[in-house]
Amino acid sequence: MIRKQAVVYGKEEIGPGIYSMWLKCPQIARTAKPGQFVQIAVNDSYEPFLSRPLSIADTTNNTIRIIYRVIGKGTEILKAKKDGETLLILGPLGKAITPVKNKNIVLCAGGLGIAPLLYLAKNLKKNNNLILFYGARNESELILLKEFKPLCDKIFLSTDDGSKGRKGFVTDILFSAHDILANAYCLYIAGPSEMIKKISNYKFRLSHLKLFGFLEERMGCGCGICFGCAVKKRGNGYLRVCTDGPVFDLSKVAL
Amino acid sequence: MIRKQAVVYGKEEIGPGIYSMWLKCPQIARTAKPGQFVQIAVNDSYEPFLSRPLSIADTTNNTIRIIYRVIGKGTEILKAKKDGETLLILGPLGKAITPVKNKNIVLCAGGLGIAPLLYLAKNLKKNNNLILFYGARNESELILLKEFKPLCDKIFLSTDDGSKGRKGFVTDILFSAHDILANAYCLYIAGPSEMIKKISNYKFRLSHLKLFGFLEERMGCGCGICFGCAVKKRGNGYLRVCTDGPVFDLSKVAL
Amino acid sequence: MTKIKIKNLEFKNPLVLASGTFSFGDKFISVANQMGGIVTKGITLKPRMGNPSPRIYETASGILNSVGLENPGVDKFCTNILPELKSLKTNLIVNISGNSPQEFKALAQRLDDTEIDALEINISCPNIRDCNKMIGRDPKQTYKVVRAVRKQTKKIIITKLTANFIDPLITAQAANDAGTDAICLINTLYGIALDTKTGKPFLGGVTGGLSGPAIKPFALYCVWYVASRIKLPIIGCGGIVSAQDVKEYLLAGSKLVEIGSANLRNPYAGLEILKELNRLRG
Amino acid sequence: MTKIKIKNLEFKNPLVLASGTFSFGDKFISVANQMGGIVTKGITLKPRMGNPSPRIYETASGILNSVGLENPGVDKFCTNILPELKSLKTNLIVNISGNSPQEFKALAQRLDDTEIDALEINISCPNIRDCNKMIGRDPKQTYKVVRAVRKQTKKIIITKLTANFIDPLITAQAANDAGTDAICLINTLYGIALDTKTGKPFLGGVTGGLSGPAIKPFALYCVWYVASRIKLPIIGCGGIVSAQDVKEYLLAGSKLVEIGSANLRNPYAGLEILKELNRLRG
Ligand SMILES: Cc1cc2nc3c(=O)[nH]c(=O)nc-3n(C[C@H](O)[C@H](O)[C@H](O)COP(=O)(O)OP(=O)(O)OC[C@H]3O[C@@H](n4cnc5c(N)ncnc54)[C@H](O)[C@@H]3O)c2cc1C
Ligand SMILES: Cc1cc2nc3c(=O)[nH]c(=O)nc-3n(C[C@H](O)[C@H](O)[C@H](O)COP(=O)(O)OP(=O)(O)OC[C@H]3O[C@@H](n4cnc5c(N)ncnc54)[C@H](O)[C@@H]3O)c2cc1C
Ligand SMILES: Cc1cc2nc3c(=O)[nH]c(=O)nc-3n(C[C@H](O)[C@H](O)[C@H](O)COP(=O)(O)O)c2cc1C
Ligand SMILES: Cc1cc2nc3c(=O)[nH]c(=O)nc-3n(C[C@H](O)[C@H](O)[C@H](O)COP(=O)(O)O)c2cc1C
Ligand code: FES
Ligand code: FES
């Protein structure tokens, strides 16, 4: 883990209010693994005070990619950043996902949850078969489809308004795909906490199926020193999203 | 007085860390008078919290000009503003200088004090004779000279390092110009508070000479509602820089 | 909107402009007129010059002020300023400050037959010489002051409390027992800034009062904490800059709110917050 | 730099990392090693799970936290964590929390024959159920707790005070009388945030502690105020993010400072502030 000034480039709006940008930071890029994230200090002043956690959505040798929706102060400032400007980033943070081989793996994304799954898919692609279930509010918010096409054997889409794919929630299409799940080794889920909770609590009647969720929680430090990012363990006590996760075996946490 | 979104244009660095920019804001431009200033909310967030007072250095029909030195948070943000971006400004604020006719008027500027004197000089020029005493740290900080040339009968310069004009303080050249002062109706002084104080307390032995100082004080509101910008009256009590000034007859205040 | 009342005094909306941040109500009258009320700068029995400069120091998301109750005294206020305020179309609340129950009594007496709508008893100004002599830090003194004013006037009384070094619930109870009609929570926090170049305090008044968004979570806590423990209308105050802030204060249990430092940043802040509040309420 | 000492304990520089903002000293060891000291997260007699999520809420130039003293309890701390800290090249200060003098006594006893350098008695954590039961708001309780620890240990004792609803000079005096070696001023302020969508408190722990640059002018005031009235080494704490801030605290009369929230924004903050401080000192 390291904290470095990274240079912004290749910023583009890839959906309504959704931006992708690359951050040049070789030390972080080279050690980053799927499942990990960075903390970004959006400015030099102290308002906003905290750094912002954003998933690593892809890497090259020298750069990492982040994809974010503009929702508040921090992401507003990120949106205003121009190519060539710098940002202080801390990373890579969180646990890396352990790679597997020769498996059928299902990815399930809701909204911006698609971002961390991109990096994971690129990593798993070579040695596994991937199937993606992906839902968003409407067609224009279904981002990164072109990039996922070559990575997945099948892609199932849904939109809340039916403008593309099945009308409804991604959980609807996921839960109706019993055969696919029956053949799958595991399921990676990223998206709104309500969605992850719903899937986590769903009775799949598939005892072999491992569920992994990308959890988000309000963070202080992002690096294990403030105990701010608690997620309840099954049983007693808490785990830390930033160091025990952000990707969790859902059988271990109580959502 | 009005508070409006103004569009920035024509920003340029006219000295080291010294910027000039124009703000398009017809309602303020049309009523602005020499001696007045504006309060600028440098951003939409609340850090920094207060608006920044800056003198009106010139106007056209639709725009006002401000000239500032980058010294802290607020002016850093102003410096980063690009043409076409907007700023919320409140103005015009403070008392207008009462115009006079057919007089010999001496202007004395230290550093950025030259900014408000520009607007005043443009206004007084038609009906009066102007003489400028102007000192700065070094040649590169002697800004606006080209604009003052056609406005003044004489210009006397000084720099702290002697890189242009007389080496020393502007007060040195001013105090040695007894003949000019003897023929002058009044003296307008703008610059560091120490400089204004020195001139205010100097024994000119010229009882007719009126001294007017452009005073600066930490401000809250800039518009008379917080009582934050006190300057001591000669005698008892305080005056408000923002509504009783910022230009004061120095015989009325105790510096 | 349902009617907001303190006793029989009606407020057309929950927004009041806070003492010391809107002159005496004599400036920006078109703004003041649309508010639920306006509180004057603190008035004292005798004229006060206030503190030397600088009086304002900016802090992270806040300001320190050491204005020090500059005002012309109650007599000049009544003769010179009050007549100008006759045409105000909003509740005029006069903020009064003193060092003893007797002084407060005299202030209330002097203002009793004027046409003002309410008195705000300021026992919480941090800009006094000995911080430990702040009346609002002593429940007994608080009781005595409020009692003295209550005996003197039938006007609405708001007692403005401090949360500096004292549990405001205790002083709220004292003010309640003494007959206040409402309380205002909170006045500025203690604060200081030191100039690292000279090693001296930056403000002319040495210490100052801290206000602005920086103090909001604490001020909101005070309102929430007191509101759930006492039945007394509360006017929430501290760091309000947006309609969201106002909603939070109302949720916390305040009936009205006072907007202070926001006026310094923008004298039209009250109006803008009102517009946004109406928009949010649909 | 002149030597900085509390009793016989030397600090290589005035910077200490504050409790709850740097784990137990087991992370970023290269940063910790260059500091004057590091204070562990608060330790209690029994393990504590801490509060439900969310535990962090950002405010204007500050943060509210309701972590709620999550820790494994003193036994596990001693057996599992402390051995890892053996190689730390800085003063290790253990922050202890309890509900009674007996609990504090037991904590001090358990830690007495470990190799830690000092104890920080935390009687000022706002994340407890009934805010009025905070020991640090009661000078008598404060005395009893410090006395109980003092009798138990010869280690350096720092008492961490609150400025919530209490004059910290009074509790500083009580701690002094009971034999504390130093005081730390201040812990977080009370705070709350309400979710205007649900109408409910935002934090899992309902209320939280306010920290960060927002509270600096108030915290600095507390240090300045107490330092001029009592002879006792003071560790200033609250909103420090820069070397300028450190200088202000030292001017105000503190001997050391603790850096808290700044570590959350940037775990290398302590190092960066130290570098800048050395640069300013030339
Ligand atoms: C491990 C992790 C990975 C994430 N990856 C992504 C990503 O790849 N793309 C993306 O768009 N978003 C991601 N998020 C959410 C992202 O952190 C927030 O959208 C962002 O911080 C909002 O900041 P803001 O200042 O614009 O919003 P504000 O609402 O102004 O933020 C206020 C505070 O709340 C926090 N916050 C707001 N929303 C969230 C949230 N959903 N989760 C955690 N904290 C939040 C902010 O960090 C900040 O401290 C991730 C969150 C976590 C915890
Ligand atoms: C009536 C008036 C007219 C002015 N005209 C000009 C001008 O034309 N050009 C110019 O460069 N400067 C002018 N100044 C000074 C200018 O306001 C400050 O340089 C500016 O506010 C600095 O802001 P900052 O955020 O960059 O600095 P910071 O140091 O970060 O500011 C911190 C606080 O101090 C205040 N402050 C800092 N310096 C001064 C100062 N000298 N006087 C008053 N308040 C100050 C700021 O407004 C702010 O509230 C004027 C000041 C006044 C009162
Ligand atoms: C410049 C200034 C002057 C003030 N003067 C007074 C005063 O005279 N009487 C009073 O009761 N409160 C006074 N206050 C306190 C405010 O009324 C208010 O309680 C406080 O600022 C907190 O609210 P805010 O954070 O919205 O500013 C003053 C505040 C400021 C900033
Ligand atoms: C997330 C967090 C956890 C904290 N936990 C503790 C704690 O366990 N014990 C304690 O005495 N103080 C605790 N504090 C208070 C800090 O040590 C410090 O006193 C306070 O945050 C003010 O300093 P700051 O403004 O630099 O953060 C905590 C603060 C934060 C932000
Ligand atoms: S965010 Fe600080 S421990 Fe996870
Ligand atoms: S700055 Fe507020 S009255 Fe002058």
- Give the type of residue at D132: N
C186 vs D: CB within 8 A: no
Instruction: Report the mean per-residue pLDDT for chain B.
Output: 95
Residue to mutate (ligand 3; options C63, C261, C263, C265; most atoms within 8 A of CB): C261
pLDDT tens for each residue of D236-252: 999 999 999 999 999 99
CA of D185 to the centre of ligand 3 (A): 26
- The residue whose CA is least distant from atom 23 of ligand 1 is A74
For A25-51, what is each residue's pLDDT tens digit? 999 999 999 999 999 999 888 899 999
List the alpha helices (DSSP H) in chain B. Answer: 26-31, 73-80, 114-124, 145-148, 170-175, 178-182, 193-200, 241-244
Q: Which of D56, D67, D261 sits opposite A219 (nearest CB)?
A: D56
A59 has which bridge partners? A64
Q: Among all ligands shown, which has an atom nearest to the Cα of A213?
A: 1
Ligand 5, residues at Cβ distance < 6 Å: A 219-222, 224-229, 240-242
Whole-number percent of chain B with pLDDT over 90: 90
Total Cβ atoms within 10 A of residue B191: 26
In tens, the pLDDT along B160-177 reads 999 999 999 999 999 998
DSSP at B46: S
* β-bridge pairing C189-192 and C207-211: antiparallel
Task: Judge whether A44 is closer than 8 Å to chain C, CB to CB.
Answer: no
User: For D237, phi and psi rounded to 5 degrees?
Assistant: -155, 135
The single-letter DSSP state of residue A173 is H
Chain D residues with CB under 8 Å of A47 CB are 60-61
Per CATH, the architecture of D4-50+68-188+212-281 is what? Alpha-Beta Barrel (3.20)
Compute the nearest-CA separation of D266 from chain C (Å). Answer: 18
Distance CA C10, CA B83 (A): 48
Which one of C190, C206, C240, C265 makes the best mutation probe of the D interface by having the most chain D beta carbons within 10 Å? C190
- Both structure tokens of A11: 């910023």
Q: B229 by DSSP, 3-state: which?
A: coil
**3-state DSSP call for residue C153?**
coil
Least-confidence region, from A51-60, B204-213, D17-26, D102-111: B204-213
Q: In angstroms, what separates the C-alpha of A45 from chain B's closest C-alpha?
A: 8
Measure the CA–CA gap between B116 and B105, rounded to whole angstroms.
Answer: 15
**What Rg value do the Cα atoms of chain B yield, rounded?**
18
Task: Select from D281, D279, D273 the least CA-distant residue to D245.
Answer: D273
Q: Given a cut of 90, is residue C132 above it in pLDDT?
A: no
Ligand 2: residues with CB < 6 A are B 37, 48, 50, 52-55, 67-69, 71-75, 112, 115-116, 216-219, 246; C 58
**Model ipTM?**
0.96
Kindly list the distances between the CA atom of residue A148 and the CA atoms of A184, B24, C215, in Å, as whole numbers in the listed order. 19, 48, 48
Q: Which domains does chain B have, with CATH numbers?
A: 2-93 (2.40.30.10), 104-214 (3.40.50.80)
With a pLDDT cut of 90, the percent of chain D lying above it is 94
Mean pLDDT of B219-248: 96
Residue (of D67, D57, D62, D59) closest to D201 by Cα position: D57
Distances (CA, A) of D58 to A47, A226, D189: 10, 14, 14
Determine, for residues B227 and C20 on separate chains, whether the beta-carbon distance falls below 8 Å: yes
Q: What token pair was written down for B192?
A: 């560091």
The answer to whether D78 and A239 have CB atoms below 8 angstroms apart is no
Nearest to residue D234, comparing CAs of D217, D211, D250? D250
Q: Rounded to two decimals, what is the model's pTM?
A: 0.97
By the 8 A CB rule, do C98 and C163 touch? no
- Could you give the residue ranges of the DSSP H alpha helices within D24-167? 29-32, 74-76, 101-112, 139-152
Span from the CA of B54 to the centroid of ligand 2 (angstroms): 7
What residue has token string 């009606």?
Answer: C10
Assess B82–D contact: CB distance below 8 Å, yes or no: no
Residues 6+ apart with CB under 8 A from C191: C59, C64, C126, C207, C208, C209, C210, D217, D218, D220, D221
For chain C, the domains span 4-50+68-188+212-281
* pLDDT of D1 higher than 70: no
State the pLDDT confidence band at A206, using cuts at 50, 70 and 90.
confident
Over range D157-164, report the average pLDDT: 97
Catalytic residue among C125, C184, C222, C237: C125
Q: Could you identify the atom of ligand 3 that is nearest to the CA of residue B228? A: 1
Beta carbons of C70 and B232 less than 8 angstroms apart = no
pLDDT band at C1 (very low <50, low <70, confident <90, very high): low
Chain A residues with CB-CB distance to B47 below 8 A:
45-47
**Whether C125 is catalytic:** yes
d(CA C214, CA A91): 30
- Length of chain C (residues): 282
Q: Any idea what DSSP says for residue C66?
A: -
> For the residues of B171-212, what is the DSSP string, one character each?
HHHHHT-HHHHHT-SEEEEES-HHHHHHHHTS----TT-EEE
Does the beta carbon of D44 lie inside 6 Å of ligand 4? no
CA distance C98 to B225: 22
Mean pLDDT value of segment C154-165:
97
Nearby residues of B16 by Cβ (< 8 Å), 6 or more positions away: B140, B141
Q: Please list every protein residue whose CB sits less than 6 Å from any atom of ligand 3.
A: B 220, 226, 228; C 18-21, 41-42, 63, 65, 67, 69, 95, 122, 125, 160, 187-188, 211-212, 215, 237-240, 259-262
Please check whether residue A87 is in contact with residue A8, taking contact to mean a CB–CB distance below 8 angstroms.
yes
CA–CA separation, B57 and B115 (whole Å): 5
Q: Which residues contact A57 (CB under 8 A, 6 or more apart)?
A: A20, A64, A65, A66, A67, A115, A116, A118, A119
Tokens of C258: 């006072």
Centre of ligand 4 from the C-alpha of residue D125, in Å: 8
Of C273, C282, C231, the C-alpha closest to C18 is: C273
A53 closest CA partner among A89, A8, A98, A28:
A89
Stretch 85-144 of chain D: residues touching chain B, C-beta under 8 Å: none
Residues 6+ apart with CB under 8 A from C270: C15, C17, C31, C32, C34, C35, C259, C262, C263
Is residue C189 less than 8 Å (CB to CB) from chain D?
yes
Q: Which of A37-46, A201-210, D136-145 has the lowest mean pLDDT?
A: A201-210
Q: Rounded mean pLDDT of D157-161?
A: 98
Pairing of strands C91-97, C56-59: unpaired
CB pair distance less than 8 Å for D60 and C61: yes
Mean pLDDT taken over chain C: 96
Is it the case that residue C40 has pLDDT exceeding 90?
Answer: yes
Q: Helices in A82-235 by DSSP H: which ranges?
A: 114-124, 145-148, 170-175, 178-182, 193-201
**How far is the C-alpha of A213 from the C-alpha of A248, rounded, in Å?**
5
Q: Does A50 touch chain D (CB under 8 A)?
A: yes
Count of pairs with CB atoms under 8 A, one residue in A, one in D? 101
